[in-house]
Amino acid sequence: MQLKEIDSSQISQEIRDFRPIACINCNYHGHIPKRFFIVELSINNEKEYDELCLLIKEKLGFESFGETGYDDVYLITVCRCPECGSENIFEDF
């Protein structure tokens, strides 16, 4: 299983519109960068999902992530507050 980072310009506007709004921990409301990754293997069961979680933790250093289907691929997103480092981020349209 591999993760391939893609530029947000390659993602539909509809997915980009769902964006980080604020840090729930420190109430930061400035720009919170969001990164997009394609999972280069399908996730078919709980074991594979657990492997994905471990990969994200080991390779990217994130405990939490968002996920969606996009153009027949499995897309994950990660973001972290630039002020306090929290991954507890409120996202909305």
Residue 20 · residue 90 · CB < 8 Å: yes
Q: Tens digit of pLDDT for each residue in 19-67? A: 999 999 999 999 999 999 999 988 899 999 999 999 999 999 999 999 9
> What Å distances lie between residue 34 and 16, 30, 87, CA to CA?
9, 13, 11
Can you give the pLDDT at residue 8? 93
79: number of Cβ within 10 Å: 20
The pLDDT of residue 30 is 97
Instruction: Look up the pTM and report it.
Output: 0.91
Question: Beta partners for 36?
Answer: 6, 77
Closest CA to 64 of 81, 75, 48, 80: 80
Distance, CA of 67 to CA of 55 (rounded, Å): 14
Mean pLDDT value of segment 72-76? 90
Q: Is the pLDDT of residue 70 over 80?
A: no
Cα separation, 49 vs 8, in Å, equals: 24
* pLDDT at residue number 41: 83
CB-CB contact of 7 with 62 (8 Å): no
